[in-house]
Amino acid sequence: MLFLSSCIFLSMPERKLSDEKLQLIEIIELSKDKLYEKAIEKCQEFMKDFPESEYYDIALLRLGEAFEGLIEQDYLQLIKDGRSEEEARKFFLGEYGHYQCWLEGSCGIQYNLECFKEMMEKFPESNYADEAAYHLIPWVCEYKGLPEGPLKEIGYIEKVLGEYPTSTLKPEMYYQIAYRLHILYEIYAFSPQSDLSNEVEAKKYHEKAFYFYRLALKQPVQSKFSKSAWKGLRKLEEGERIYIMQ
C-alpha cells in the first residue's frame, strides 16, 4: 500500500508539444498582443516549414489578419491622430511596402485579401471559413450621405450569417448590422437632402437598429462588442447622432 501510494504522487512525464504546435501558439499570442510584424514573420515561417500542416488554414487566417492589423495600427491610427492621409500613406509604405500586398485608391491603403481568398479556395470546409468569409466582405469606404452603401454592407453581412449560422463572429456581425441600421435611420430622419427625408423609413430603421443592438447584447457578456452595442443603443435612445451631424 505504501508503494502504491507513493506511485500516485509521482509526477507524470510531461507531454512535449511539437514544433508545429509551438509555432502556432506563438503566432496566436503575437496576434493577440498586436505584434503584427512579428506575427507575419512567424506565419510565413510556419507555412514554409509545415506546408502540409492541418493548421495551415489558421496560419493563413492569422497572416491576413496581421496585414490588416498593420493598416489599422500604422496607417489609419496615424490619420485618427491628426496626420494627413498623404503623410500616413508615405510612412506606411516606407515601412511595409516590401510586403507587396497593398491596394491604393480613393479608399486609401487596403490589404488585397489574398490570404483570405487562398484560405476559402483551399480550405472551404475549414472551421474558420466563416472568419475568412467575413474578412472578404467588400466594405464601402464612403457612404456620401446615401443609403445604398450601408444597405449593401448589411446584405453582405447577412449573407455570411446565412452561410455560417453558428459562427463565433455573430456578436460582431449583429453589432455591425445594428450600426449600419442606425446610420440608415439618421439618413432618412436628418439628411439635408429633402428627397431622402422619409419618416416611415426612419421609423423602420430605428426599430431595426434597436432590435439588432439588443440582439448583440444577448450574446455572451464577454464579447468585446457588447460594450459597443450598449453605447450604440444608448445613443439611439437618447437621439445622439453617430453619422448625420447637427
Please, which pLDDT band fits residue 14 given cuts at 50, 70 and 90? very low
The amino acid that residue 153 corresponds to is: E
Beta-carbon contacts of 100 under 8 Å, excluding residues fewer than 6 positions away, are: none
Could you read off the pLDDT of 159-203 as tens digits, one per residue?
Answer: 999 999 999 999 999 999 999 999 999 999 999 998 999 999 999
Hey, where are the domains in the chain? 19-126, 137-246
Question: Is 75:108 a contact under the CB 8 Å cutoff?
Answer: yes
What does the pLDDT average to over 2-14?
Answer: 43
What does the pLDDT average to over 96-104?
Answer: 97
Question: Is 213:233 a contact under the CB 8 Å cutoff?
Answer: yes
Looking at every residue in the chain, the average pLDDT score rounds to 91
The amino acid that residue 31 corresponds to is: S
Going by C-alpha positions, the residue among 167, 110, 168, 135 that lies closest to residue 60 is: 135
Question: Is 174:167 a contact under the CB 8 Å cutoff?
Answer: no
CA 143 to CA 47: how far, in whole Å?
38
115 or 9: which leads in pLDDT = 115
What does the pLDDT average to over 227-235?
Answer: 94
* Residue 4 clears pLDDT 60, i.e. is over it: no
Going by C-alpha positions, the residue among 62, 64, 71 that lies closest to residue 96 is: 71
Question: Is 60:128 a contact under the CB 8 Å cutoff?
Answer: no
CB-neighbour burial class of residue 240 (10 A; exposed 0-12, middle 13-18, buried 19+): exposed
- Residue 137 grid coordinates: 466582405
- Residue 205 grid coordinates: 430603421
Per-residue model confidence (pLDDT) at position 18:
85
Phi/psi at 162 (5° precision)? -65, -35
* Residue 223 clears pLDDT 90, i.e. is over it: no
Tell me the C-alpha to C-alpha distance, in Å, between residue 179 and each of 18, 123, 197, 235, 241.
Answer: 43, 31, 19, 11, 12
Per-residue model confidence (pLDDT) at position 7:
47
- Taking domain 19-126, whether its CATH number is 1.25.40 is answered by yes
Per-residue model confidence (pLDDT) at position 90:
97
Per-residue model confidence (pLDDT) at position 17:
64
